[in-house]
Structure 1
Amino acid sequence: MLEKVKHNGHDGGRMELTLMRNWVMTHLIYEYILSLPEDAHDIEKGYIDRIIRTEARENRGGIMTELAMYRAEASAGNGVSLPRRVSKLFNVSNILPDGQSYSLLLHYLQNLWPDLNIQSDNSMEEGTYFYRSTTCRPLTYVRKDGIRYGSIANKRTKADSLAFISDGPNHRVPVEIIALLSVKLSGQPPHVCAVVHRMRKDDDIPALPWDLYASTLGIHTTYANEFDAPEVVSISKIDSPLALILVHSRVLQKDLCISVSFDHVGSEPNNMFEDNDNDD
């Protein structure tokens, strides 16, 4: 997004200031769009439209394109937007070996919609059948809160397939996204989910200097190229993108991955100052 900002190559910190102002302004407008209630007055909506149109004229559509994506996400109500073109239905059993992906997704949907009494397409029981070949569509990517996430199932690129997912209050874990899916069962709106596997870690990994503040800093250490068993999660659990730093442990004689969160605009965890509060 910042590539489209005009700064004329000014030095002395003015270029950085211009980029920072654009970044802050864009995200403020995005937050305004998200926070607008459904019954917002037309005057409020008009103010935001006026700002977007003004910036669109000055930047020749750069910010307009980004804010169009943000507005689409806001209208969806969950911060998620899908590709304009969605792929054809496919056999979800082919994602993982031995049809494991179908079993995982079946169990996930049964927990998601317990009232539907979802059954396997091989079952003779009454209920809503989950057909492996006519229920799911693969997604090449999704955008959540303005950030693009892909998967290793994408044949064109495997970029953006690493992310942190939320695993309880103030706790995130690094994962690799295997596949992104849109699931449509009879009588239900489409549901977007992801097949992921967590990067493996255990107590054998030696203590590192940042471990005490790992949750606050968004840094996690795992084994390189080793993963836990696959699982299915809602797309709403995807929290932020990450970067991987490969290091070698002399203690373990193995390579480790240090996952660093790219979420630099979110709020700090609520428990950041809990220890200090308890000391008073």
Structure 2
Amino acid sequence: MQATFLGNLKSFSHLWVDNRRHGAATATRGFSARFAYVDDRIPSQIDYLFEAQQCIPGVTGRVLRHSFALVSRFLSDQNVASLSLPWDLWATDLGVRTWRATALAPMEVVSVERLTGHFVLAPMTVTGLDLWITIAYDCEAPENDSMVDDM
């Protein structure tokens, strides 16, 4: 059985999830809050934020609502992984990871509840490579690092 979406779709420049402001990279008002962790500590860029609304057929006044984001995950790179950087020894404790700058996976859809935290993004150039350094805001109780090694 194939269903057709006949509801409404709203786009947002930014929204709040668990008292954290998240923004869309494609919106001027959301641009500064476009980076977020997804599923504990997978750094991603939020490209779009939406809310979908669908009326339930045959039930007056009942509407299904769900907020979701289109995100692009940061991509691992073997050249970056082979670099020896000063923070590597404490990277897991500090919540620090290194990525090739602007290397993003194709967009994917995630529920906004999967946006789990913020990080500081520090651009840097090392031996001719443009890098992004992600640093967890919460270093005392950083997000779960178990997902990072699976990427």
* TM-score, normalising length: structure 2: 0.77
C-alpha separation in 1, matches of 2:28 and 2:109: 20
Q: What is residue 77 of structure 2 aligned with on the other side?
A: 202
Q: Quick one: which amino acid aligns to residue 32 of structure 2?
A: A
Q: What is residue 147 of structure 1 aligned with on the other side?
A: 20
Asked if 1:254 corresponds to 2:123, the answer is no
Q: What is residue 11 of structure 2 aligned with on the other side?
A: 138
Q: Quick one: which amino acid aligns to residue 181 of structure 1?
A: F
Once the two structures are superposed, residues 125-162 of structure 1 have per-residue CA deviations (whole angstroms, 9 ceiling, x without a partner) of x432125xx43111221112211111112234511111
Q: What is residue 95 of structure 2 aligned with on the other side?
A: 218
Q: What is residue 186 of structure 1 aligned with on the other side?
A: 55
C-alpha separation in 2, matches of 1:215 and 1:234: 26
SS at match of 1:214: helix
C-alpha separation in 1, matches of 2:72 and 2:145: 27
* TM-score, normalising length: structure 1: 0.44
Query: Quick check: which one's strand share is greater?
Result: 2
| Pairing partner for 1:161 from 34, 40, 44 | 34
Structure of greater relative contact order (alpha carbons < 8 Å, 6+ residues apart): 2
C-alpha separation in 2, matches of 1:150 and 1:179: 8
C-alpha separation in 1, matches of 2:69 and 2:111: 6
Deviation for aligned residue 1:255: 0.6
- Greater Cα radius of gyration, structure 1 or 2: 1
C-alpha separation in 2, matches of 1:165 and 1:212: 24
Q: Is the 1:219–1:261 Cα contact (8 Å) retained in structure 2?
A: yes
Q: How many residue pairs align between the two structures?
A: 138
Deviation for aligned residue 1:164: 1.2
Q: What is residue 105 of structure 1 aligned with on the other side?
A: none
Q: What is residue 237 of structure 1 aligned with on the other side?
A: 114
Deviation for aligned residue 1:215: 3.6
Q: Is the 1:151–1:180 Cα contact (8 Å) retained in structure 2?
A: yes
SS at match of 1:127: coil
Q: Is the 2:13–2:30 Cα contact (8 Å) retained in structure 1?
A: no
Query: Quick check: which one's helix share is greater?
Result: 1
Q: Quick one: which amino acid aligns to residue 214 of structure 1?
A: A
Deviation for aligned residue 1:263: 2.7
Q: What is residue 3 of structure 2 aligned with on the other side?
A: 128
Q: Is the 1:165–1:240 Cα contact (8 Å) retained in structure 2?
A: yes
5+ residue gaps in structure 2?
Answer: 57-62, 147-151
Distance 1:158 1:270, change over 3 A: closer
Name the % identity. Answer: 25
C-alpha separation in 1, matches of 2:95 and 2:133: 10
Q: Is the 1:192–1:235 Cα contact (8 Å) retained in structure 2?
A: yes
Deviation for aligned residue 1:268: 6.7
Deviation for aligned residue 1:210: 3.2
C-alpha separation in 2, matches of 1:128 and 1:268: 37
Alignment root-mean-square deviation, CA? 2.5
Once the two structures are superposed, residues 142-194 of structure 1 have per-residue CA deviations (whole angstroms, 9 ceiling, x without a partner) of 1122111111122345111111111xxxx511111001111123335211111
Deviation for aligned residue 1:246: 1.3
Q: Is the 1:216–1:268 Cα contact (8 Å) retained in structure 2?
A: no
Runs of 4+ displaced beyond 6 Å: none
Q: Quick one: which amino acid aligns to residue 198 of structure 1?
A: R
